[in-house]
């Protein structure tokens, strides 16, 4: 058998015909198959006898390259780097080819972003649990209806707050903003029957709150920082807790909205 095989090879060699010999190292491959006998190309490659002569064996399962969890992040980072590189190249060397290359690549990313935006919108339409606008409408009609319902709930709550909460109003006679804010607070207090204790920081009177008291350390004991006026503070008679409502001039709606939010809504529920 040896002589039968060697004779043709020897004849070809003597005739000057190159005899292909693969001297690949163990494990070298181009087709994803690990070679175990790199010297038998006549049988393994030309005659394709394959695994019958232990020429090759498939790679064991599990050896495929695993895609890392951060591969998408890495791709995004690579796109950003390439876009920055093309932009810098177009700016530093503004040839027509460089500018076109940058614009084309940028357009590809804009198209990708548009596709994402469209898919996002369609997903929200078809999955109501993901659509935040059902919780907080943004359309003109929906927002008006939401605000009307919110005001109705707010007014109902504020009507019963006087049984538990009171307001401390820190003002100063010399404070021009207090002259504007005092009548606003007076109207809110009267319409919702809320008790207001006006505290003068400089000893001066108030036209809208004639039954005022002069500050004798009340503000400091409540933990209200600074001397800014006007300052509005909600006081919980049950827990004895003070809740600052705001400083400066507030509208009637702002006063009521803040009191409602501070007493009857959870943090983050409105957003």
- Both 146 and 251 in one domain: the answer is yes
Query: What CA–CA distance (Å, rounded) separates 164 from 95?
Result: 74
How far is C-alpha 172 from the chain's CA centre?
44
| One domain, residues 240 and 190 | yes
Examine residue 66 and state whether it is found in any structural domain, yes or no.
no
CATH code, domain with 213: 3.40.30.10
Domain tally, the chain: 3
Domain match, 44 and 151 both: no
Same domain, 111 and 186: no
Same structural domain, 252 and 167:
yes
- Burial (CB count <10 Å: 0-12, 13-18, 19+), residue 23: exposed
Asked if residue 271 is part of any domain, the answer here is no
User: Is the C-alpha dihedral spanning 211, 213, 214, 220 positive or negative?
Assistant: negative
Per-residue model confidence as pLDDT tens for the chain (271 residues):
444 444 444 343 434 444 444 334 444 444 444 444 444 555 555 555 544 445 554 444 444 444 444 688 998 999 999 999 999 999 999 999 999 999 999 999 999 999 999 998 898 888 888 877 777 777 787 777 767 777 777 777 777 787 889 999 999 999 999 999 999 999 999 988 889 999 999 999 999 999 999 998 889 888 888 888 999 999 988 888 899 999 999 999 899 889 888 888 766 555 4
Residues 193 and 147 both lie in one domain? yes
Same domain, 44 and 117: no
Domain that holds residue 21: 2-58
């Amino acid at each position: 058998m040896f002589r039968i095989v060697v004779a043709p090879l020897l004849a070809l060699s003597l005739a000057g015909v190159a005899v292909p010999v693969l001297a690949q190292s163990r494990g070298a491959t181009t087709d994803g198959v690990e070679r175990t006998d790199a010297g038998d190309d006549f049988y393994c490659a030309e005659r394709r006898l394959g695994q019958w002569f232990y020429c090759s064996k498939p790679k064991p399962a599990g050896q495929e390259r695993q895609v890392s969890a951060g591969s998408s992040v890495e791709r995004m980072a690579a796109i950003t780097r390439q876009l920055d590189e093309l932009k810098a190249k177009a700016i530093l060397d503004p040839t027509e080819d460089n500018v076109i290359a940058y614009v084309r690549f940028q357009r590809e990313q804009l198209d990708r972003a548009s596709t994402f935006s469209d898919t996002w919108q369609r997903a929200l339409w078809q999955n109501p649990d993901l659509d935040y606008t059902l919780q907080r409408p943004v359309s003109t009609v929906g927002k008006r209806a939401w605000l009307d319902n919110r005001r109705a709930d707010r007014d109902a709550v504020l009507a019963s707050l006087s049984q538990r909460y009171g307001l401390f109003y820190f003002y100063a006679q010399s404070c021009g903003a207090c002259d504007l804010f005092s009548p606003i607070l007076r109207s809110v207090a009267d319409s919702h029957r809320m008790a207001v204790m006006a505290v003068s920081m400089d000893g001066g009177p108030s036209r809208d709150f004639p039954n005022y008291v002069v500050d004798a350390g009340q503000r400091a004991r409540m933990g209200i920082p600074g001397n800014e006026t006007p300052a509005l503070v909600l006081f919980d008679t049950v827990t004895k807790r003070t809740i600052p409502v705001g400083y400066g001039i507030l509208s009637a709606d702002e006063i009521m909205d803040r009191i409602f939010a501070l007493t009857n809504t959870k943090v983050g529920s409105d957003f």
